[in-house]
Structure 1
Amino acid sequence: MKKKLLVIGFVWPEPKSSAAGSRMLQLIVQFQQQGYDVVFASAAKTSDNTFDLSSIKVETQPILLNDSSFDLFIKNLDPDIVLFDRFMTEEQYGWRVAEQCPKALRLLDTEDFHGLRKAREAALKRNERVSTQHMQNDITKREIASIYRCDLSLMISEVEIEILKQQFNIDESLLYYLPFLLAPIPQEAINLLPKFEARQHFITIGNFLHAPNYDAVLYLKQTIWPLIRKQLPKAELHIYGAYESQKVTQLNNNNKEGFLIKGFAEDVNEVMRHAKICLASLRFGAGLKGKLVDAMQNGTPAVMTTIAAEGMFGNSKPNGFIEDTPEAFAKQAVELYNNVEAWQQKQQNGFKVLNQRFNNLAFEADFLTHIKTLSNDLKTHRELNFIGQLLMHQTMQSTKYMSKWIEAKNS
């Protein structure tokens, strides 16, 4: 009998809209290659951008929040592994999974460290350095509780693992580094990409529902882009992203500023490979930045903030310049736009980063072994995670009865 994986999604995957959507598909493929049948369940609504999971032989199941119908569903499914997509789904369904399928391995895919992103956003609004006080927010507390309740949390960034270990004393046995899992880029594909002379203009991209992306666009509009445009009066900045709102659309200014809101990109590779420079001006956030992966895959060098670059390059050279002041950011953007030799060097750096740090082949075997070892010794692993046992006990008393109260109230 084939092994079964149940993914409980916070949202239905949208790989064209967000890096989180691409990440989820990468994980699904990893488990399918390990021989798992995959079922994806979510209480979220679908959209026009929702990926057709049936096209990769994944069964889908709509589920309800605070409803005991989920108990019957998961008991009948009897999965070997349950993967929670972000800590919010673990809060909702973790106790039900533990009650109905106690032997199932519980994995948490954090996507990024939400508490870290929240801390940085709060510090930015107050014009302060991120401190322990910022980090100890409600999101952090909920997320770390979820990490403890799960058997293993998949972390996309080495930096975030170190923060969890050093600042919060999370045992490394509960954390596993699994970044973007990408196919290596062959030289033949690189040779087909447009050259420096065939490209023009700047680009940035990101889902507008994600607060760091909107802030980054606003930062470009108000502070950085005027400095670039002053030196490159014919250059344009093309801004792409799903779910643009009125407040995003009204930033468009084609004639005077060359600041163009392009909206949803049906094919990110098409728009990225024809741009000369990618701008990643994020001032807060966490995790790995999909826009930089898109840029590297399409040979588009970037100028980025430290926040944008975090966790991406390790000891490798970046595919562009890392600057945090508007003046330095703009200066390097202009330099990269005009200097073909620097541009070509940064482009090559990007290809090396992808092939050395995010090569899916480098992670598959170890991930398979780790999951097998953990599954075979799950009882001992859970006994050593006493805080997890404690939180699960308390959670199953509080969250459980709150959920049952909501269900009774709704019936």
Structure 2
Amino acid sequence: MPFSLTDAQFRLARALGLSRRAWSSLRTRGWQQTWQRVVLRLQRTLRRAPTDAIPLWRPPHSADQALPTFVEAERAPVASIVIPVHNHLGHTLECLRALAAAPPEATMEIIVVDDASSDDTAALLPRIAGLRYHRHERNGGFIAACNTGAALARGEVLVFLNNDTVPQPGWLDALLRTLREVPRAGIVGAQLVYPDGRLQEAGGVVFRDGQAWNYGRFESPDDPRYGYLRDADYISGAALAIPRALFDAVGGFDTRYAPAYYEDTDLAFAVRAAGHRVLYQPGARVLHDEGTSAGTDPSTGMKAAQARNREVFALHRRQELAAFPPADELPGPGTLHRGQRRILIVDESTPRPDHDSGSLRLVALMRMLLEEGAHVAFVPADGRHAGRYTRELQATGVETWSEPWTGGIAHWLRRHTTRFDVAMLSRHFVAAPLLPLLRRHAPRLRVLFDSVDLHYLRERRAAELAGDAAMLAIARRTRSRELAVVAAADATLVVSPAERELLAADAPGARVELLSNLHRLSARTAAWEQRHGVVFVGGFHHPPNVDAMRWFLTGVWPRIRAQAPMLDFHCIGSDPPDDLRAHHGRDGVQVHGHVADIAPWMDGCRVAVAPLRFGAGVKGKINLSMAHGQPVVATTVAAEGMHLHDGQDVLLADDADAFAQAVLRAHEDADAWSRLAAGGRANVERHFSVDAARETVRRLFLAAD
């Protein structure tokens, strides 16, 4: 690949940035914690997800080849799986064994429509317990068999499934979850893979002349281009889910395409015309032995109907097809997302929203952009596949990249940047080396710098608290670099009014916009009498949190326990240092580390604390507690820029005695607790909700230049 001077400058800037961050970490955390962070990062890098051909599951074969059995639902099932068959009994049995061996969470019924098979299908399938079997005496073709099965179905959702498939575990729940959770979802289709593990189809593409294209054919199913939920032009009828009411409303599979081919494509167009979306869900993976029934030669047999039906389809849908791309344009992400506002986001690593508030904010922002109809791509600067966090982003519809597919972020930007309208770079040490690359490869791109929090402000406060002249010098150098990024970006995002005021003085010519934390209020909150105990939430890779807990556990908590000896304190957050772990089990302290689900503590503890003595930005831990109706006791620094008022929606205290008394008051006074809980929720709704940020997001990301 070509290597430019800009690429060399990027790599040099990246290396220098890493060395500066390492030196800063040594000063603020000490060598032991810095070394632990280096080891942890190396371990995560070595645990990158495999990118070779995926291991495909097949149902186990019993020695006696016993027939599968199914449990009939007592009531109408959630899903009715319709399997049209014509001969090929061996394939049908393997498909049925797969369904029986890995059943979904949802209730289902299996309907096999035998389209006049001449093999042993009619003799064997009626013997399968729990299977609904229906036979056509004359062969009517795929469309007729599917429509018959739909008419027999009792489920809320119809799932059409070819008999030459092996659905992978979890496939049906992924389809149903998408229909349930994605607004206006009308059709959801699976990722189809060949028996050798290569990709067969990642949603279909349709061209202006009516030709259809299996997007991703023969590529790797692990390629990020094919790994995220997205709208598709059509979904293959080999594995397709649709609400039964919608299928009936659009008239089912159109018989003008009988016996088969283009009926699934036309169904997608009918569903879109009815105001619904047609979605490809890679989380639903289905092995498909393509061509078992109809072969693969388009000139003979039933396959010959494909060419004829293309002309029928092109004539029937000629008005809609006029807006589609010509057949000479090779499909890619740029083609797929035509007509959408396309947003690129780069951060240091893939967000982990259950670990830190910055990740929670970023994921909420991406979800909001998707809700607004934009296409969002995310590239982590470290290139690492983050396991379930990467997959969860993809499942929401974010085009999420990782190595080796990027080929290095500089290479990726050179190839892809021109297809985006807006790019947001998070954190100054990520943005500084990338900005020149963006300006080089896409000079008209709108570039936003998301500060996350102003690092130089946090570093300066830490240095002043510690009285460390070397740390203060580091903060001054960070200030120069951070302000240089502010000056180079088209706009800078900050999370608090205090930081916006600071930049008004330090970078008076820059455009600075407020985009704070983004939270959704908990639907239900527990009452005062249903709660007990005190909680702190915060990851311990963040130095302000480490300092806060050391101060609280040694200076504040002993004062609280002296007056309330039965009170418990829960410390939650990833990677607590050894000196904090040493408090576990003593004096009512529980040091939990990272927990997968924080809701039990948000809804079960009576009071949250934010005893930070330095820092910057807006504290997600405060927003999170208040969104759950949990009052917060905080320091002035922790509450900075959060529109909070002492005694109304928060209790503020900065010395150990006052902080302890505030915790006891919030915990024991039911009236004060109720007032603070209501005030905190109102504060989040007013200043830190998704709706509160919507106008700013639309202006920065979605408005054309």
The answer to whether TM tops 0.5 is yes
Task: From 359, 367, 388, give the equivalent of 1:21.
Answer: 359
The AA in structure 2 aligned to 1:10 is E
- The answer to whether the Cα contact below 8 Å between 2:450 and 2:493 also exists between their aligned partners in 1 is yes
Task: From 245, 266, 272, give the equivalent of 2:602.
Answer: 272
Shift in alpha-carbon separation, 1:61–1:293, aligned structure 2, 3 A: same
Answering whether residue 483 of structure 2 is matched by residue 151 of structure 1, we say no
Identify unmatched segments of 5+ residues in structure 2: 1-337
- The answer to whether the Cα contact below 8 Å between 1:278 and 1:303 also exists between their aligned partners in 2 is yes
Shift in alpha-carbon separation, 1:65–1:155, aligned structure 2, 3 A: farther
In structure 2, the partner of 1:381 is: none
Shift in alpha-carbon separation, 1:71–1:278, aligned structure 2, 3 A: closer
1:173-252 matches, within 5 Å, as 174-183=511-520, 189=523, 192-252=524-584
- The answer to whether the Cα contact below 8 Å between 2:540 and 2:573 also exists between their aligned partners in 1 is yes
Following superposition, the deviation at residue 175 of structure 1 comes to 0.4
1:345-360 matches, within 5 Å, as 345-360=675-690
For the residue of structure 1 that corresponds to 2:566, the secondary structure is coil
Q: For residues 136-168 of structure 1, what are the alpha-carbon distances to aligned partners after superposition, in whole Å with 9 as ceiling and x for unaligned?
A: 6111111111111100111110111001113x1
**Greater C-alpha Rg:** 2
The AA in structure 2 aligned to 1:116 is L
Following superposition, the deviation at residue 370 of structure 1 comes to 4.6
Task: From 251, 256, 263, give the equivalent of 2:593.
Answer: 263
More helix by share: 1
- The answer to whether the Cα contact below 8 Å between 1:11 and 1:42 also exists between their aligned partners in 2 is yes
Answering whether residue 398 of structure 2 is matched by residue 58 of structure 1, we say yes
- The answer to whether the Cα contact below 8 Å between 1:303 and 1:322 also exists between their aligned partners in 2 is yes
Shift in alpha-carbon separation, 1:332–1:65, aligned structure 2, 3 A: farther
1:325-336 matches, within 5 Å, as 325-336=655-666
Taking the aligned partners of 1:370 and 1:276, their CA distance within structure 2 comes to 38
Answering whether residue 653 of structure 2 is matched by residue 323 of structure 1, we say yes
Taking the aligned partners of 2:693 and 2:646, their CA distance within structure 1 comes to 18
Following superposition, the deviation at residue 319 of structure 1 comes to 2.8
In structure 1, the partner of 2:457 is: 116
Answering whether residue 695 of structure 2 is matched by residue 365 of structure 1, we say yes
1:287-326 matches, within 5 Å, as 287-313=617-643, 318-326=648-656
Following superposition, the deviation at residue 14 of structure 1 comes to 0.5
For the residue of structure 1 that corresponds to 2:517, the secondary structure is coil
Shift in alpha-carbon separation, 1:33–1:317, aligned structure 2, 3 A: farther
Task: From 424, 435, 438, give the equivalent of 1:97.
Answer: 438
Q: For residues 228-257 of structure 1, what are the alpha-carbon distances to aligned partners after superposition, in whole Å with 9 as ceiling and x for unaligned?
A: 1111111111100023343432232x2x41
Answering whether residue 415 of structure 2 is matched by residue 73 of structure 1, we say yes
Q: For residues 201-227 of structure 1, what are the alpha-carbon distances to aligned partners after superposition, in whole Å with 9 as ceiling and x for unaligned?
A: 110010111111111111111111111
The AA in structure 2 aligned to 1:121 is A
Taking the aligned partners of 2:531 and 2:558, their CA distance within structure 1 comes to 21
Following superposition, the deviation at residue 372 of structure 1 comes to 5.5
Taking the aligned partners of 2:424 and 2:674, their CA distance within structure 1 comes to 41
For the residue of structure 1 that corresponds to 2:567, the secondary structure is coil
Taking the aligned partners of 2:696 and 2:347, their CA distance within structure 1 comes to 25
Q: For residues 111-140 of structure 1, what are the alpha-carbon distances to aligned partners after superposition, in whole Å with 9 as ceiling and x for unaligned?
A: 111111001100110199xxxx78961111
Identify unmatched segments of 5+ residues in structure 1: 377-411
Taking the aligned partners of 2:507 and 2:648, their CA distance within structure 1 comes to 30
- The answer to whether the Cα contact below 8 Å between 2:515 and 2:696 also exists between their aligned partners in 1 is no
Answering whether residue 512 of structure 2 is matched by residue 170 of structure 1, we say no
Taking the aligned partners of 1:194 and 1:314, their CA distance within structure 2 comes to 22
Task: From 2, 6, 11, give the equivalent of 2:349.
Answer: 11
Shift in alpha-carbon separation, 1:338–1:88, aligned structure 2, 3 A: same
Taking the aligned partners of 2:533 and 2:701, their CA distance within structure 1 comes to 45
In structure 2, the partner of 1:399 is: none
Q: For residues 261-300 of structure 1, what are the alpha-carbon distances to aligned partners after superposition, in whole Å with 9 as ceiling and x for unaligned?
A: 0111211222111001111100111111111111111111
Following superposition, the deviation at residue 54 of structure 1 comes to 0.6
The AA in structure 2 aligned to 1:224 is V
Taking the aligned partners of 1:10 and 1:234, their CA distance within structure 2 comes to 43
Shift in alpha-carbon separation, 1:300–1:311, aligned structure 2, 3 A: same
Say which is worse superposed, 237-246 or 134-143, in terms of deviation: 134-143
In structure 2, the partner of 1:409 is: none
Taking the aligned partners of 2:465 and 2:648, their CA distance within structure 1 comes to 25
Which structure has more RCO (C-alpha within 8 Å, separation ≥ 6)?
A: 1
- The answer to whether the Cα contact below 8 Å between 2:423 and 2:445 also exists between their aligned partners in 1 is yes
Taking the aligned partners of 1:352 and 1:313, their CA distance within structure 2 comes to 11
TM-score (norm 1): 0.82
Taking the aligned partners of 1:316 and 1:35, their CA distance within structure 2 comes to 40
Shift in alpha-carbon separation, 1:84–1:202, aligned structure 2, 3 A: same
Taking the aligned partners of 1:49 and 1:208, their CA distance within structure 2 comes to 21
Taking the aligned partners of 2:633 and 2:420, their CA distance within structure 1 comes to 44
Q: For residues 345-382 of structure 1, what are the alpha-carbon distances to aligned partners after superposition, in whole Å with 9 as ceiling and x for unaligned?
A: 11111111012112322331343235466x52xxxxxx
- The answer to whether the Cα contact below 8 Å between 1:207 and 1:213 also exists between their aligned partners in 2 is yes
For the residue of structure 2 that corresponds to 1:306, the secondary structure is coil
The AA in structure 2 aligned to 1:89 is V
Taking the aligned partners of 2:570 and 2:643, their CA distance within structure 1 comes to 25
For the residue of structure 2 that corresponds to 1:209, the secondary structure is coil
Q: For residues 373-403 of structure 1, what are the alpha-carbon distances to aligned partners after superposition, in whole Å with 9 as ceiling and x for unaligned?
A: 6x52xxxxxxxxxxxxxxxxxxxxxxxxxxx
Shift in alpha-carbon separation, 1:370–1:48, aligned structure 2, 3 A: closer
Shift in alpha-carbon separation, 1:336–1:315, aligned structure 2, 3 A: closer
The runs of at least 4 aligned residues of structure 1 exceeding 4 Å deviation read 46-49, 63-68, 133-136, 314-318, 370-373
Following superposition, the deviation at residue 33 of structure 1 comes to 3.3
Following superposition, the deviation at residue 87 of structure 1 comes to 1.2
The AA in structure 1 aligned to 2:399 is E
For the residue of structure 1 that corresponds to 2:609, the secondary structure is strand
Taking the aligned partners of 2:359 and 2:672, their CA distance within structure 1 comes to 33
Taking the aligned partners of 1:155 and 1:334, their CA distance within structure 2 comes to 34
Alignment length, in residue pairs? 361
Following superposition, the deviation at residue 332 of structure 1 comes to 1.2
